[in-house]
Protein backbone atom coordinates (compact mmCIF):
# COMPACT_ATOMS: atom_id res chain seq x y z
CA UNK A 1 0.00 0.00 0.00
CA UNK A 2 3.02 2.28 -0.30
CA UNK A 3 5.57 3.20 -2.95
CA UNK A 4 9.16 2.45 -1.85
CA UNK A 5 10.87 2.99 -5.20
CA UNK A 6 10.54 2.81 -8.96
CA UNK A 7 12.24 0.15 -11.08
CA UNK A 8 12.78 0.61 -14.80
CA UNK A 9 12.96 -2.54 -16.95
CA UNK A 10 14.30 -2.36 -20.51
CA UNK A 11 12.06 -4.51 -22.69
CA UNK A 12 12.80 -4.78 -26.40
CA UNK A 13 10.32 -5.85 -29.04
CA UNK A 14 8.78 -8.84 -27.30
CA UNK A 15 7.00 -8.41 -23.93
CA UNK A 16 8.02 -10.50 -20.93
CA UNK A 17 6.71 -14.02 -20.82
CA UNK A 18 4.24 -14.88 -18.08
CA UNK A 19 6.89 -16.86 -16.13
CA UNK A 20 9.47 -14.07 -16.43
CA UNK A 21 6.83 -11.53 -15.38
CA UNK A 22 5.96 -13.61 -12.32
CA UNK A 23 9.64 -13.94 -11.35
CA UNK A 24 10.10 -10.17 -11.79
CA UNK A 25 7.05 -9.38 -9.62
CA UNK A 26 8.31 -11.80 -6.95
CA UNK A 27 11.75 -10.11 -6.92
CA UNK A 28 10.15 -6.66 -6.71
CA UNK A 29 7.84 -7.86 -3.94
CA UNK A 30 10.80 -9.17 -1.93
CA UNK A 31 12.65 -5.85 -2.45
CA UNK A 32 9.58 -3.89 -1.29
CA UNK A 33 9.26 -6.16 1.77
CA UNK A 34 12.95 -5.64 2.63
CA UNK A 35 12.59 -1.85 2.27
CA UNK A 36 9.45 -1.90 4.41
CA UNK A 37 11.23 -3.89 7.13
CA UNK A 38 14.16 -1.49 7.02
CA UNK A 39 11.79 1.49 7.28
CA UNK A 40 9.96 -0.12 10.21
CA UNK A 41 13.25 -0.87 11.99
CA UNK A 42 14.41 2.72 11.47
CA UNK A 43 11.10 4.11 12.78
CA UNK A 44 11.28 1.79 15.78
CA UNK A 45 14.85 2.90 16.53
CA UNK A 46 13.88 6.56 16.14
CA UNK A 47 10.89 6.07 18.46
CA UNK A 48 13.17 4.41 21.04
CA UNK A 49 15.60 7.33 20.89
CA UNK A 50 12.75 9.83 21.27
CA UNK A 51 11.34 7.84 24.19
CA UNK A 52 14.75 7.74 25.88
CA UNK A 53 15.25 11.48 25.37
CA UNK A 54 11.78 12.14 26.77
CA UNK A 55 12.57 9.92 29.75
CA UNK A 56 15.86 11.77 30.34
CA UNK A 57 14.05 15.12 30.14
CA UNK A 58 11.43 13.93 32.62
CA UNK A 59 14.10 12.64 34.99
CA UNK A 60 16.03 15.89 34.69
CA UNK A 61 12.96 18.02 35.39
CA UNK A 62 11.99 15.89 38.40
CA UNK A 63 15.54 15.92 39.75
CA UNK A 64 16.03 19.65 39.22
CA UNK A 65 12.67 20.56 40.77
CA UNK A 66 13.53 18.44 43.83
CA UNK A 67 17.20 19.34 44.15
CA UNK A 68 16.87 23.07 43.56
CA UNK A 69 13.95 23.53 45.92
CA UNK A 70 15.85 22.44 49.05
CA UNK A 71 18.86 24.82 48.83
CA UNK A 72 16.76 27.70 47.46
CA UNK A 73 14.28 27.35 50.32
CA UNK A 74 17.18 27.32 52.77
CA UNK A 75 18.80 30.39 51.17
CA UNK A 76 15.56 32.40 51.10
CA UNK A 77 14.65 31.35 54.66
CA UNK A 78 18.05 32.27 56.10
CA UNK A 79 18.15 35.55 54.16
CA UNK A 80 14.64 36.41 55.42
CA UNK A 81 15.75 35.66 58.98
CA UNK A 82 18.74 37.94 58.65
CA UNK A 83 16.66 40.74 57.14
CA UNK A 84 13.94 40.52 59.79
CA UNK A 85 15.86 39.60 62.92
CA UNK A 86 19.51 40.25 62.06
CA UNK A 87 20.14 42.89 64.74
CA UNK A 88 18.76 40.62 67.48
CA UNK A 89 21.02 37.68 66.55
CA UNK A 90 24.38 37.28 68.22
CA UNK A 91 27.48 37.21 66.02
CA UNK A 92 27.83 33.41 66.11
CA UNK A 93 24.23 32.92 64.90
CA UNK A 94 24.69 35.44 62.09
CA UNK A 95 27.92 33.76 60.97
CA UNK A 96 26.19 30.38 60.98
CA UNK A 97 23.37 31.72 58.78
CA UNK A 98 25.88 33.38 56.43
CA UNK A 99 27.79 30.09 56.17
CA UNK A 100 24.60 28.14 55.39
CA UNK A 101 23.68 30.61 52.63
CA UNK A 102 27.19 30.41 51.19
CA UNK A 103 27.26 26.58 51.28
CA UNK A 104 23.89 26.28 49.55
CA UNK A 105 24.88 28.83 46.91
CA UNK A 106 28.16 27.01 46.22
CA UNK A 107 26.29 23.70 45.98
CA UNK A 108 23.95 25.25 43.38
CA UNK A 109 26.91 26.62 41.42
CA UNK A 110 28.55 23.18 41.38
CA UNK A 111 25.27 21.60 40.27
CA UNK A 112 24.88 24.04 37.37
CA UNK A 113 28.54 23.62 36.35
CA UNK A 114 28.12 19.84 36.24
CA UNK A 115 24.87 20.14 34.30
CA UNK A 116 26.38 22.50 31.71
CA UNK A 117 29.51 20.37 31.32
CA UNK A 118 27.47 17.19 30.81
CA UNK A 119 25.35 18.95 28.18
CA UNK A 120 28.41 20.25 26.31
CA UNK A 121 30.12 16.85 26.40
CA UNK A 122 27.02 15.01 25.22
CA UNK A 123 26.61 17.45 22.32
CA UNK A 124 30.31 17.41 21.49
CA UNK A 125 30.64 21.16 22.10
CA UNK A 126 33.20 20.99 24.91
CA UNK A 127 36.62 21.89 23.57
CA UNK A 128 39.49 20.40 25.57
CA UNK A 129 42.35 22.80 26.28
CA UNK A 130 45.04 20.14 26.56
CA UNK A 131 48.42 20.87 28.10
CA UNK A 132 51.07 19.17 30.24
CA UNK A 133 50.14 19.66 33.91
CA UNK A 134 51.64 18.53 37.20
CA UNK A 135 49.21 15.96 38.61
CA UNK A 136 50.14 16.87 42.20
CA UNK A 137 49.24 20.55 41.67
CA UNK A 138 45.94 19.72 39.97
CA UNK A 139 44.93 17.48 42.91
CA UNK A 140 45.89 20.16 45.45
CA UNK A 141 43.85 22.75 43.52
CA UNK A 142 40.82 20.43 43.53
CA UNK A 143 41.08 19.78 47.26
CA UNK A 144 40.90 23.53 47.86
CA UNK A 145 37.36 23.51 46.45
CA UNK A 146 35.75 20.36 47.87
CA UNK A 147 32.72 20.40 50.15
CA UNK A 148 33.53 22.10 53.47
CA UNK A 149 32.17 18.98 55.19
CA UNK A 150 35.57 17.45 54.36
CA UNK A 151 36.68 18.88 57.73
CA UNK A 152 34.48 16.20 59.32
CA UNK A 153 36.57 13.53 57.56
CA UNK A 154 40.26 12.61 57.58
CA UNK A 155 41.39 13.68 54.11
CA UNK A 156 44.90 12.85 52.87
CA UNK A 157 46.71 13.38 49.59
CA UNK A 158 49.80 11.60 48.27
CA UNK A 159 51.61 11.67 44.94
CA UNK A 160 54.44 9.17 44.44
CA UNK A 161 56.19 11.55 42.04
CA UNK A 162 55.69 15.28 42.58
CA UNK A 163 56.99 15.88 39.04
CA UNK A 164 54.47 13.51 37.41
CA UNK A 165 53.11 15.23 34.30
CA UNK A 166 49.91 14.27 32.49
CA UNK A 167 48.27 15.62 29.35
CA UNK A 168 44.93 17.10 30.37
CA UNK A 169 42.48 19.96 30.47
CA UNK A 170 43.35 21.00 34.02
CA UNK A 171 40.02 22.75 34.72
CA UNK A 172 38.02 19.64 33.81
CA UNK A 173 40.26 17.23 35.72
CA UNK A 174 39.97 19.48 38.79
CA UNK A 175 36.21 19.06 38.41
CA UNK A 176 36.60 15.25 38.21
CA UNK A 177 38.65 15.13 41.45
CA UNK A 178 36.18 17.48 43.21
CA UNK A 179 33.24 15.29 42.17
CA UNK A 180 34.94 12.08 43.32
CA UNK A 181 36.00 13.53 46.69
CA UNK A 182 32.57 15.12 47.28
CA UNK A 183 31.00 11.78 46.40
CA UNK A 184 33.16 10.09 49.08
CA UNK A 185 32.23 12.78 51.61
CA UNK A 186 28.53 12.38 50.82
CA UNK A 187 28.43 8.60 51.20
CA UNK A 188 30.61 8.11 54.28
CA UNK A 189 30.08 8.85 57.94
CA UNK A 190 31.94 11.77 59.61
CA UNK A 191 35.37 10.61 60.77
CA UNK A 192 35.89 8.36 57.75
CA UNK A 193 39.23 8.31 55.94
CA UNK A 194 39.38 9.64 52.39
CA UNK A 195 42.67 9.45 50.47
CA UNK A 196 43.62 10.85 47.09
CA UNK A 197 46.67 9.20 45.52
CA UNK A 198 48.49 9.49 42.21
CA UNK A 199 51.17 7.35 40.61
CA UNK A 200 52.56 6.42 37.23
CA UNK A 201 51.92 3.05 35.62
CA UNK A 202 53.64 2.80 32.25
CA UNK A 203 52.26 5.49 29.95
CA UNK A 204 49.43 6.37 32.31
CA UNK A 205 49.00 8.58 35.34
CA UNK A 206 46.68 6.76 37.74
CA UNK A 207 44.66 8.87 40.20
CA UNK A 208 42.52 7.18 42.84
CA UNK A 209 40.08 8.41 45.50
CA UNK A 210 39.54 5.85 48.26
CA UNK A 211 37.30 5.81 51.33
CA UNK A 212 36.56 3.38 54.16
CA UNK A 213 32.80 3.88 54.13
CA UNK A 214 30.09 1.25 53.55
CA UNK A 215 31.20 0.63 49.96
CA UNK A 216 29.09 -0.01 46.85
CA UNK A 217 27.17 -3.28 46.23
CA UNK A 218 28.37 -5.20 43.16
CA UNK A 219 24.98 -4.88 41.44
CA UNK A 220 25.23 -1.06 41.61
CA UNK A 221 28.80 -0.67 40.36
CA UNK A 222 27.92 -0.72 36.65
CA UNK A 223 25.06 1.78 37.11
CA UNK A 224 27.11 4.35 39.04
CA UNK A 225 28.37 6.10 35.92
CA UNK A 226 24.93 6.39 34.30
CA UNK A 227 23.37 9.83 34.09
CA UNK A 228 20.78 10.54 36.81
CA UNK A 229 21.68 7.41 38.79
CA UNK A 230 21.89 7.99 42.53
CA UNK A 231 22.92 5.16 44.82
CA UNK A 232 20.68 3.89 47.59
CA UNK A 233 23.45 4.04 50.20
CA UNK A 234 22.62 7.42 51.67
CA UNK A 235 23.69 8.96 54.93
CA UNK A 236 20.88 10.59 56.88
CA UNK A 237 20.61 14.35 56.17
CA UNK A 238 22.73 13.96 53.04
CA UNK A 239 21.24 16.04 50.26
CA UNK A 240 20.02 14.06 47.29
CA UNK A 241 21.93 14.77 44.09
CA UNK A 242 21.06 14.80 40.42
CA UNK A 243 23.37 11.87 39.78
CA UNK A 244 25.39 13.88 37.28
CA UNK A 245 28.74 13.87 39.05
CA UNK A 246 30.03 10.39 38.20
CA UNK A 247 28.47 10.47 34.73
CA UNK A 248 30.34 13.71 34.08
CA UNK A 249 33.58 12.22 35.43
CA UNK A 250 33.29 9.32 33.00
CA UNK A 251 32.59 11.63 30.03
CA UNK A 252 35.54 13.88 30.87
CA UNK A 253 38.00 11.02 31.45
CA UNK A 254 36.88 9.27 28.24
CA UNK A 255 37.36 12.52 26.32
CA UNK A 256 40.97 12.49 27.58
CA UNK A 257 41.47 8.94 26.28
CA UNK A 258 41.54 7.47 29.80
CA UNK A 259 39.32 5.09 31.76
CA UNK A 260 37.49 5.31 35.07
CA UNK A 261 36.43 2.42 37.30
CA UNK A 262 35.38 1.47 40.82
CA UNK A 263 36.49 -1.43 43.00
CA UNK A 264 36.18 -2.40 46.65
CA UNK A 265 38.56 -1.02 49.26
CA UNK A 266 40.13 -3.33 51.85
CA UNK A 267 38.65 -4.08 54.38
CA UNK A 268 35.63 -1.99 53.37
CA UNK A 269 34.81 1.09 51.33
CA UNK A 270 35.21 2.07 47.69
CA UNK A 271 38.06 3.17 45.42
CA UNK A 272 37.44 5.23 42.29
CA UNK A 273 40.36 5.16 39.86
CA UNK A 274 40.88 7.05 36.61
CA UNK A 275 43.79 7.31 34.18
CA UNK A 276 45.31 10.07 32.09
CA UNK A 277 48.06 9.85 29.46
CA UNK A 278 51.49 10.72 30.83
CA UNK A 279 53.30 13.65 29.24
CA UNK A 280 57.05 13.13 28.91
CA UNK A 281 59.34 15.95 29.90
CA UNK A 282 61.34 17.25 26.96
CA UNK A 283 64.76 18.46 28.03
CA UNK A 284 66.68 20.79 25.76
CA UNK A 285 70.31 21.55 26.24
* pLDDT tens figures, 79-108: 999 999 888 999 999 999 998 898 888 878
Q: Which of 146-160, 197-211, 250-264 shows the lowest mean pLDDT across its residues?
A: 146-160
Residue-wise pLDDT for 62-86, tens only, equals 666 666 777 888 899 999 999 998 8
Neighbours of 131 (CB within 10 A): 12
Going by DSSP bridges, is the β-strand pair 270-277/260-264 parallel, antiparallel, or unpaired?
Answer: antiparallel
Q: What is the mean pLDDT of residues 247-272?
A: 89
Q: Which of the four CATH numbers 3.10.180.10, 3.40.50.1100, 3.30.565.10, 3.30.70.1400 does domain 131-277 have?
A: 3.30.565.10
Note whether 135 and 165 are within 8 A (CB): yes
For residues 267 and 57, give the distance between their C-alpha atoms in angstroms, rounded to a whole number.
Answer: 40
For residues 131 and 240, give the distance between their C-alpha atoms in angstroms, rounded to a whole number.
Answer: 35
Confidence check: pLDDT of 147 > 80: no
Which residues have C-beta within 8 Å of that of residue 110, sequence separation ≥ 6? Answer: 178, 182
Confidence check: pLDDT of 240 > 60: no
The better pLDDT of the pair 174, 225 is held by 174
Assess if CATH 1.10.287.130 describes domain 1-127. yes
Q: What is the mean pLDDT of residues 127-152?
A: 86
The fraction of the chain above a pLDDT of 70, given in percent, is 84
The structural domains of the chain, with segments of one domain joined by +, span 1-127, 131-277
**Residue 19, pLDDT score:** 92
**Residue 177, pLDDT score:** 92
CA-to-CA dists, residue 46 to 7, 41, 122, angstroms: 28, 9, 18
Which residues have C-beta within 8 Å of that of residue 18, sequence separation ≥ 6? Answer: none
**Residue 239, pLDDT score:** 44
- What's the distance, Cα to Cα, between the start and end of the chain in Å? 78
Amino acid sequence: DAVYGVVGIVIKKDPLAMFENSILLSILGECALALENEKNAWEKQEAAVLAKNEQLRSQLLRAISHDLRTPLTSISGNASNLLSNGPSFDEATRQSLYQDIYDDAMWLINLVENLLSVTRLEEGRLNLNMSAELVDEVIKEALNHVDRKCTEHILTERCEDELLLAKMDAKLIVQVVINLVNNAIKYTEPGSHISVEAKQEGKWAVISVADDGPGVPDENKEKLFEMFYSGANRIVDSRRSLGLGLSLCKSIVNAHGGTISIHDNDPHGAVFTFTLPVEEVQLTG
